[in-house]
Structure 1
Amino acid sequence: MSLKGNVQTAVTDSEEYTIRWYKPRDRAAFIDLYSLAFASRGEEWFRWKYEQNPYAERVPIIVAEKDGEIGAVRPFIPLLLRVADNTVPVIQLADLVVHPDHRRQGLMTTLSRWMKTNCWDDYAATFTYATQAARDGILKMQAERWTDHDLGPFVKYERLNNVAAFVGDDHSRSVRLGATLATPAYRLKHRIGDRLASVDPTIRVVRHESVPVSLLASLYKTAVPETAHILRDETFYNWRFAEPGREFVTYVAMRDALPIAAIVVGTDHLTESPSTAQLVEVLPLAGSEARVPEFSALVSHITRDYGTVDHLCATNGTLSRNVLSAHGFSPTDSFPLSKLATPSYLLVCPLGGSADDAVVTEGLTRHNGWNTTYCERLLG
């Protein structure tokens, strides 16, 4: 399914800036601007994320140009969202960047207004994951369309293997000493917890050094959530797990030679500390409370294989809290993780594409009603 929409090609001027759709000649400028704000990325990454997106016919980026120079970019990611039995097009906001030389010109607001006029109403909703500062800015800037659609914190769970990796020279000597002393205590706690965690001997775990797309799509269909979530199928998985610069390993739980659950673990190729392993995808998405044995077996293998990384990350909701707790994961809003982690919030705004569908609109705005994993969180 392709999200065509009524794409406008007209150029809009905002004082001295021209607001328009991305053109191929903008690629190098976009990558330079992105690398300045976030991390160094290359053309292969850009092609994957924006040019090869299977749900867009054009590169979904809006730019602000002044005197031939790109001052800001407002990318978004078209996706398909499923709510109950309905599948609707949505957009995830991601990677907004304003060059330092072009800040305090109101470009964030200008780009958002242009986007709102030209393409928002072709979609059922827009959503984003925002820091506290970004959340406050969005709610203030788009009060008429974002108010009452703050769905709360995006709760994450962490298993710390190396506390000292999160403490740098900018911390006090006492904090650095405390982190150094805490690391062996955490590792001992994890070893004890891993030995005590219950694992069903009838479940066999198979590790794949890649992502078996057809298998994942089949597991998704075994328990599709009624709550709002990004549609999983082979089209989505083929694109999602083609992300360059990140390695994906899949763990599949088998019973009687049949696959019953899977977790995809992602790691990147960055060398700086702290090193991270994310439980990117967890399947089936629904019914985690009834799948404690299989998920416990999977997480047990993952924590063993990734015992040398500084920390492992999981998301709230898809995996049972009991499973996460049994294997050493704690919520990031609890001490001491609350002192180390930066909270993020899920903001959702229904748009014109869902105006006539009460089921979709209600599902989009239900507090804590979304079923999300790192699979979509890491996109933006």
Structure 2
Amino acid sequence: MALDDYYIRDYRPEDLDEYLELYRSVFEAVRDDKWFRWKYEEPPSSENSEIIVAEHEGRIIGARSFFSVRMSCNNREYHALQPCDTMISPEHRRNGIFTRMNQKAIQKYENSDVRFFFNFPNKKALPGNLKMGWEFVQPLERHYRIQNPDRIAQLKFDSRFATLTGKVASAAFQGYCQIQNLRSSSISGLSIERYDHVPANEFSELHNQNRPIAIHAIRDETFYNWKFQNPKWDYRAYIARDNGESIAATIFASKSNGLNQTRIVESLPIQAENAPFTATECLYREAIVDHSQTDFFIAAGNAIPEKVLRRLGFLSDGSIPLSFKLTQKNMVARSLSGDLPIDLSNPDNWAVNFTELDTT
């Protein structure tokens, strides 16, 4: 088809039904208007739905959506957008639609208060981003704790992977048994409080006490009240207190889509490399025990202490056996301002976890 057969424009409210239908057909997943409002209309950093669509013969056949978030670096605030939920109907692919939607977005946001894009494409999508001016930052390292290898292999992988993950899970199970005996009582004066919601004020205050200088999402009370209301996930929050004073906190998010998965979506303080048996490790131990029905846990990014994850049986997706089967994601970024005083391509300038990542 000719390029002029497609009309690239901003999303309109009357596009909602066609947008959700396109999402269902491309991703084979159902999303409703409640999810859409949460993700694209209610973010505190945006007044409008930040979406570019491609129209053909009066129908929406493509979309390049953007997740709006306020970011901080060196205590300065920046408005950023994260490209996400990019979709094109199969019969209209390879017609330059992705490039044209990107061009439209770049032209639009270069003349706005948005200072940069950042996102996490897989290997297949990476070249298209780099071609459009995005810079490679780093692989997005994810850590997995396998709880139920038989179920995972049955639904997702082959027998070879099942054997490999079985070995990993055996080690994790031994760690699990140890976890049962290493509750927070092992630290004098430390207590763990559980919440079936996110206490936004306490999380925001704790973050402000230990705010990093690296690029990260601004975690004020408004942000916490919005971010962890995704209707597709169930959230549990944990706060560690030392003689009554909050010193660490985490949020675990769970959902089931055939497999029961749980993510460590937040961990405070950010980038804290805690020593063994510190508050962060105790929080994770308590949460893992509480989520005993989970098939696997996931942590992502460089804002969570890796050595704590290793001690608790988490394995990197960049190492065997997970590297055999899991699709590696990469972090990329693109400046929209010539005077941006940040080197977006330097991985040391970022502090990200699942809080910064688009959540489907």
TM-score when scaled to structure 1?
A: 0.87
**1:203/1:297 contact within 8 Å kept:** no
Which residue pairs with 2:139 in the alignment?
153
Kindly indicate whether residue 23 of structure 2 is the aligned counterpart of residue 34 of structure 1.
yes
What is the alpha-carbon distance in structure 2 between the residues aligned to residue 136 and residue 99 of structure 1? 20
Partner of 2:103: 113
> Per-residue deviation at 1:211?
0.6
Distance 1:246 1:25, change over 3 A: same
- Paired AA for residue 284 in structure 1: P
306-315 vs 67-76, which moves further: 306-315
Partner of 2:224: 237
Paired position in structure 2 for 1:77? 67
Q: Unaligned stretches of 5+ in structure 2?
A: none
Contact 1:64-1:72 within 8 A present in 2 as well: yes
Any residues of structure 2 matched to 1:46-65 within 5 Å, and which?
Answer: 46-65=36-55
Deviation by residue 1:9-54 (Cα, 9 ceiling, x = unmatched): xxxx951111111111100000111122222111110111111122
The counterpart of 1:356, out of the listed 330, 333, 339, is: 339
Q: 1:366: which partner in 2?
A: 346
Aligned residue for 2:265, secondary structure, equals strand
Counterpart of 1:213 (choices 196, 200, 209) is: 200
Distance 1:73 1:228 in 2: 27
Aligned in 2, Cα 1:152/1:197: closer, same or farther, shift over 3 Å? farther
Aligned to 1:101: 91
Q: Which runs of 5+ in 1 are unaligned?
A: 1-12
Kindly indicate whether the alpha-carbon contact (under 8 Å) linking 1:193 and 1:326 is maintained by their aligned counterparts in 2.
Answer: no
| Pair 1:377 & 2:352 matched | no
Query: Which residue of the other structure, out of 58, 61, 65, is the alignment partner of 1:68?
Result: 58
Q: 1:126 to 1:271 in 2, by over 3 A?
A: closer
The corresponding residue for 1:9 is: none
Indicate the residue corresponding to 1:4 in structure 2: none
Number of residue equivalences: 355
CA distance in 1, matches of 2:15, 2:196: 36
Equivalent position of 2:209 in the other structure: 222
Task: Give the 5 Å matches for 1:116-195.
Answer: 116-122=106-112, 123-139=114-130, 141-142=131-132, 145-146=133-134, 149-168=135-154, 173=159, 176=162, 178=163, 182=167, 185-186=170-171, 188-194=173-179
| Distance in 1 separating the partners of 2:165 and 2:308 | 28
State how far apart, in whole Å, the 1-side matches of 2:119 and 2:182 are: 35
Identity of aligned residues (%): 25
SS of 1:300's equivalent? helix
3-state SS in 2 of match to 1:164 = helix
Could you state the TM-score of these two structures normalised by the residue count of structure 2?
Answer: 0.91
Once residues 156 and 67 of structure 2 are traced to their aligned partners in structure 1, the CA distance between those partners, rounded to angstroms, is 36
Q: Deviations over 1:241-266 (max 9, x none)?
A: 12112111001101111111100000
Kept in 1: contact 2:153–2:159 (CA 8 A)? no
Q: Residue 119 of structure 1 aligns to a residue in which SS?
A: helix
Shift of 1:86: 0.9
Corresponding residue for residue 6 of structure 1: none
CA RMSD of aligned residues (A): 2.3
1:62–1:73: 8 Å Cα contact kept in structure 2? yes
Question: SS at the partner of 2:120?
Answer: strand
Deviation sequence 1:347-370 (CA, Å, 0-9, x none): 011112xx2242xx23x3322421
Change (3 A) 1:136 1:168: farther
